[in-house]
Amino acid sequence: MRAGSTAGFARATRWLKFPPNIMEKLAFAILGSLAVFGAVNVVFRRNPVTAALFLVTTFLALAGLFVLMGSGFLGAIQVIVYAGAIMVLFLFVIMLLNLERDPFKGFSPLRTLSSLICVILGVSALVTLVPASASGPPPVEEFGDCVTVGRVLFEDAVLPFEALSLLLLMAVVGVVVIARSRHERSASVLTSRAERAARPRSLTEVS
Amino acid sequence: MLLAAVPTPAPVPTQWYVALATVLFILGAMGFALRRNSLVMFMSIELMLNAANLSFVAFAREYHLAQGVVYALLVIAVAAAEVAVGLAIIIALFKLKQTVDVDDVRELRG
């Protein structure tokens, strides 16, 4: 019998003499409030570097929640890929662009209205959908370890996996095409502009 | 047996995780709607993707299936590809316009 992660968490915190479910709920409360705190700061901080660092906080808290739920594999992937790779990419781009701090112009009323609509829709989803999501039997088995995930990934989900490799290849090629320096393309752009200027403009002048 | 000595604790219910995921999704949607900086808008998209991942894993735990974890993994990989392409677009835009403000890019506005 494999040791369940929840039981493992209870064993690890047994020296605190708390009831184990209290400990798990305490961990959920701490990690969840940390995630929400980071998310609020991402949205409302003005400096993009600060926002990116608070996003790292949210990602690490979510990794902790994955571990708490018993999927340590996904927690490790979250730390490596999200907090490691993606956020480093973000910070590199932010520091590469070297943005000067623009004066805060205030939120436009249209954007405030649309974000209020988002909040209303989300709160209605929170009120209606969350009580409807059932709470099943208590999980004791570890459900997301490497062996199980690998088996599902290469047996059931092998087609999405292969499609994903194609998608990553397309992303690599697309990034190279987009980020190529403009000098290499300027010649062709100029000739096409000259051709366009020389062309009779009857079609564009109709309207 | 060692495990028998430990009483099986009542876990954190799935509703709590789904509620947390909903709150994070609301914050991401708010950030996407409210901010003008395209980098922060991208971070808000990442926030929404992470909220979806959290609910994927919460329901995977609920039903004792590894499929939710696998699809969360696929979501992470798609997010990595999307971030690479999106940041390249932002850099190209910055080279062209010297700004990352989405309100300053209005060539396509009718």
CA angle A27/A126/B56 to nearest 5° reads: 60
CA angle A86/A89/A94 to nearest 5° reads: 130
> Do A71 and B69 lie within an 8 Å CB cutoff?
yes
Extract the tokens encoding A171.
């992303």
Q: Could you tell me how far CA A142 lies from the centroid of its own chain?
A: 24
Helix axes A48-69, A20-44, angle to 10 degrees: 160
Positive/negative CA dihedral, A92, A76, B75, A131:
negative
- Predicted local distance difference test score (pLDDT) of residue A1: 37
Given a cut of 80, whether residue B3 has pLDDT beyond it is no
CA angle A36/A38/A39 to nearest 5° reads: 65
Contacts of A8 in chain B (CB under 8 A): none
> Do B9 and A19 lie within an 8 Å CB cutoff?
yes
- Predicted local distance difference test score (pLDDT) of residue A53: 93
* Residue B49 Cα, gap to closest chain A Cα (Å): 11
Given a cut of 60, whether residue B2 has pLDDT beyond it is no
- Predicted local distance difference test score (pLDDT) of residue A197: 61
Residue pointed to by tokens 């709607």:
B33
Q: Looking at the partner chain, which of A25, A164, A172 has a beta carbon nearest the beta carbon of B74?
A: A164
Nearest to residue A93, comparing CAs of B21, B110, B94, B61? B94
Q: What is the residue-averaged pLDDT of chain B?
A: 85
| pLDDT single digits (tens) B42-52 | 999 999 999 99
Listing DSSP states for A81-104 in one string gives IIIIIIHHHHHHHHHHHT---PPP
> Do A156 and B7 lie within an 8 Å CB cutoff?
no
Nearest to residue B49, comparing CAs of A99, A39, A24? A39
Contacts of B40 in chain A (CB under 8 A): 42-43, 48, 51
Rounded distance, CA A29 to CA B12, Å? 10
Per-window interface: B 78-97 vs A, CB < 8 A: 78-85, 87-92, 94-95
Give, for all 207 residues of chain A, the pLDDT tens digit: 344 455 556 666 666 666 667 888 889 999 999 999 999 999 998 888 999 999 999 999 999 999 988 888 899 999 999 988 999 999 999 888 877 666 666 778 888 898 899 899 988 888 887 777 766 555 555 666 788 888 888 988 899 999 999 999 999 999 988 877 666 555 555 555 566 565 555 544 444
A96–B contact, CB cutoff 8 A: yes
B66–A contact, CB cutoff 8 A: yes
- pTM of this structure: 0.81
Given a cut of 60, whether residue B1 has pLDDT beyond it is no
- Predicted local distance difference test score (pLDDT) of residue A164: 93
Given a cut of 90, whether residue B81 has pLDDT beyond it is yes
